[in-house]
C-alpha cells in the first residue's frame, strides 16, 4: 500500500506513522506508555499541534492524545519531529499500544500490584505476536480507586489479591471472567492467550476480530492453554471518578476533565506549567478523557483548582457536563452526519436534572461510536437528515426503531425526571 493510500485509510486505529483523514485534516494519535508525559514533552506536543495542525487536540477513551488538523504538506515534518522525541509507535499493523492503565497507577494506595511493571512485561511478551487487530487492547487494573471495567477491553486483568490476577472478557452486559493467574505467570498466560487467538484467526478457525467476540468454546480452550486457575470473582467497586481531587498519601492527584475530551494547545501548555509549579513535572492522560496531575501538595490544591476552572477545565465530580459524551462530529470528522458536541450541549438544556443524577447522554455523529463504545442511559446516533436514532440503555451498535429530530428528543426529555421515565419515554417496539 502506498503512503498516500495509507494516510487516507479509515476504520482502523490511527497512530503517528498512520494518520487518518478526517473532516478537519489528518488526525495523528500518540500512544505514550501508561499515558505519561513529562512537562517538556507536553509542551513540545502542544507546539507541534500549533505548527503542524490546527492547535486542537483530543484525549481519547484509552488515554491517548490526538493532534488534529494536520495537513498533508505539514505531516512529514510532524512525523520527523515526533520521531526525534521518541513518540512514534513501532512499525507494523498491530496495536499501537497494547495496554491501558489507571492514570494513578503506581500511586494508588488501594492497588494490589505494580501495574506499570506488569504492563511493561506484557508489552514485551506480546511484541512479537503477529496479526493482532489494531484495535486490540488489554486493561490492567490494580484493583484500586479507578476501575477500568467499562472500557470494553479485549482482555481485562484485575488484581484481586497481592498475588492473584483475574482474567476477564468484555461482554454485552458486564465482564465475563475466565480464570486467574499468579502475577509472575501473568505475562506468559497473556502471551499464550493472544498468540492462540492470533493462530485461530490465521488458520481460519474464527473470523472474530476481537477476543471479546470469540466463540465461548474457543475462549475456554485459550484459557486452558494458558493454564488459568479457577475463576475468582473480583469485588464490585464504585465507578471511577471523572474529575476532582484523589488522595495518594502523602499528597494528592488532581484529575481535570475536558468537555468531550477536547483540549487546546494552550490548555496543554498550562497543564505542563501547573505540573512544574504545583507537582512533580509530569502529567498523565486519563481514560476518562481528561488529564491528571500527580503529587500535588495539599496547600497547592485550591490554587490549582481555581486556575484550572478559569482555564475551561472541569474540576468538580458533580459537573453535569461529565454526563455528556460526544464525538467531534461535523465538520471535524468526515464520517459524522451531525454536529454532535453542539447538539449534546443543546439537548442537555432539557435534561439537566437527569444529568445531575448521573445519567449519561451519548451523542454520536455516526454509528461507529468512537467516543464511547459502551452503553449509555440514552444514546443518540446521527442520521443524514440531521435527526438521531435513539437507543435507551444501549450503545451505537444496538438496533434502533425510534428516529427523532432534536426538538422531539428535547420535548420528550423535558417530561422525564428519572431513569424509569427515560426508558418509558423512549421505548418503542418495531412495527
Q: pLDDT digits over 404-428, tens only? A: 999 999 999 999 988 899 988 998 6
Distance, CA of 89 to chain centre: 18
Length reported for the chain: 431
Long-range contacts of 198-203 (CB under 8 A, 24+ apart): 198/129, 198/130, 198/131, 198/132, 201/131, 202/130, 202/131
Q: Helix 39-52 and helix 75-84: axis angle, to 10°?
A: 170
State the pLDDT confidence band at 5, using cuts at 50, 70 and 90: very low
Stretch among 10-24, 48-62, 358-372, 409-423 having the lowest mean pLDDT: 10-24
Which of 3.40.50.720, 3.50.50.60, 3.30.70.3340, 3.90.470.20 is the CATH number of 3-84?
A: 3.30.70.3340
Q: How far apart are the C-alpha atoms of 387 and 115, rounded to whole Å?
A: 43
Distance CA 394, CA 400 (A): 9
Q: How far, in Å, CA of 278 to CA of 275, rounded?
A: 6
Please state, in angstroms and rounded to a whole number, the distance separating the CA atoms of residues 370 and 56. Answer: 18
Burial of 142 per CB tally in 10 Å (0-12, 13-18, 19+): buried
DSSP 374-411: S--SEEEEE-TTS-EEEEETS-TTS----EE-HHHHHH
Look at the block and give the residue holding cell 515526533: 82
77-104 pLDDT tens trace: 999 999 999 999 988 888 999 999 999 9
pTM as predicted:
0.90
Question: Domain spanning 103-225: which superfamily?
Answer: Sulfite Reductase Hemoprotein, domain 1 (3.30.413.10)
CA distances from 193 to 135, 167, 228, 296 (A): 16, 11, 10, 40
The highest-confidence range among 184-193, 318-327, 391-400, by mean pLDDT, is 184-193
Give residue for cell 512479537.
128
Kindly state the average pLDDT of the residues 202-227.
93
What residues have CB less than 8 Å from 424, skipping those under 6 apart?
none
CA 150 → CA 144, 178, 244, 401, distances in Å? 15, 17, 20, 26
- Unique residue bearing C-alpha cell 472541569: 314
The domains of the chain are located at 3-84, 103-225, 244-319, 322-425
Q: Provide the strand spans (E) within 171-207.
A: 175-181
Q: CATH assignment of 244-319, given 3.30.70.3340, 1.10.1040.50, 1.10.1370.30, 3.40.50.720?
A: 3.30.70.3340
Whether 103-225 and 322-425 share one fold: the answer is: yes
CATH 3.30.413.10 fits 322-425, yes or no: yes
Q: What per-residue confidence (pLDDT) applies to 428? A: 67
Amino acid at each position: 500500500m502506498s503512503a498516500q493510500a495509507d494516510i487516507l485509510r479509515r476504520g482502523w486505529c490511527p497512530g503517528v506513522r498512520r494518520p487518518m483523514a478526517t473532516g478537519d485534516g489528518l488526525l495523528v494519535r500518540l500512544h505514550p506508555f501508561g499515558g505519561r508525559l513529562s512537562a517538556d514533552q507536553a509542551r513540545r506536543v502542544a507546539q507541534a499541534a500549533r505548527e503542524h495542525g490546527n492547535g486542537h487536540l483530543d484525549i481519547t477513551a484509552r488515554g491517548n492524545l490526538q493532534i488534529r488538523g494536520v495537513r498533508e504538506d505539514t505531516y512529514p515534518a510532524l512525523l520527523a519531529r515526533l520521531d526525534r522525541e521518541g513518540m512514534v509507535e513501532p512499525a507494523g499493523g498491530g496495536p499501537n499500544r497494547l495496554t491501558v492503565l489507571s492514570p494513578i497507577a503506581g500511586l494508588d494506595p488501594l492497588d494490589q500490584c505494580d501495574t506499570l511493571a506488569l504492563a511493561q512485561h506484557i508489552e514485551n511478551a506480546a511484541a512479537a505476536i503477529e496479526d493482532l487487530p489494531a484495535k486490540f487492547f488489554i486493561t490492567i487494573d490494580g484493583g484500586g480507586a479507578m476501575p477500568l471495567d467499562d472500557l470494553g477491553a479485549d482482555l481485562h486483568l484485575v488484581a484481586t489479591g497481592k498475588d492473584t490476577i483475574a482474567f476477564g472478557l468484555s461482554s454485552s452486559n458486564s465482564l465475563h471472567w475466565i480464570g486467574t493467574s499468579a502475577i509472575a505467570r501473568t505475562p506468559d498466560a497473556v502471551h499464550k492467550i493472544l498468540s492462540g487467538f492470533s493462530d485461530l484467526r490465521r488458520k481460519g478457525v474464527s473470523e472474530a476480530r476481537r477476543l471479546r467476540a470469540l466463540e465461548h468454546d474457543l475462549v475456554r480452550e485459550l484459557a486452558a492453554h494458558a493454564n488459568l486457575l479457577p475463576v475468582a470473582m473480583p469485588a464490585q467497586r464504585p465507578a471511577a471518578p471523572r474529575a476532582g481531587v484523589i488522595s495518594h498519601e502523602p499528597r494528592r492527584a488532581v484529575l481535570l476533565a475536558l468537555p468531550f475530551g477536547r483540549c487546546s494547545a494552550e490548555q496543554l501548555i498550562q497543564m505542563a506549567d501547573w505540573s512544574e509549579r504545583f507537582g512533580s513535572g509530569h502529567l498523565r492522560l486519563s481514560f476518562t478523557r481528561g488529564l491528571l496531575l500527580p503529587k500535588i501538595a495539599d496547600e497547592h490544591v485550591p490554587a490549582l483548582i481555581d486556575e484550572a476552572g478559569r482555564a475551561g477545565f472541569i474540576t468538580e465530580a458533580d459537573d453535569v457536563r461529565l454526563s455528556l459524551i460526544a464525538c467531534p462530529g461535523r465538520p471535524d470528522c468526515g464520517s459524522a452526519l451531525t454536529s454532535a458536541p453542539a447538539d449534546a450541549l443543546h439537548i442537555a438544556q432539557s435534561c439537566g436534572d437527569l444529568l445531575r443524577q448521573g445519567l449519561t447522554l451519548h451523542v454520536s455523529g455516526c454509528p461507529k461510536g468512537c467516543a464511547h463504545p459502551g452503553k449509555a442511559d440514552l444514546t443518540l446516533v446521527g442520521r443524514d437528515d440531521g435527526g438521531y436514532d435513539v437507543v435507551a440503555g444501549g450503545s451505537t451498535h444496538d438496533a434502533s426503531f425510534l428516529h427523532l429530530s432534536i426538538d422531539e428528543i428535547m420535548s420528550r426529555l423535558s417530561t422525564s425526571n428519572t431513569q424509569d421515565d427515560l426508558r418509558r419515554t423512549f421505548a418503542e417496539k418495531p412495527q
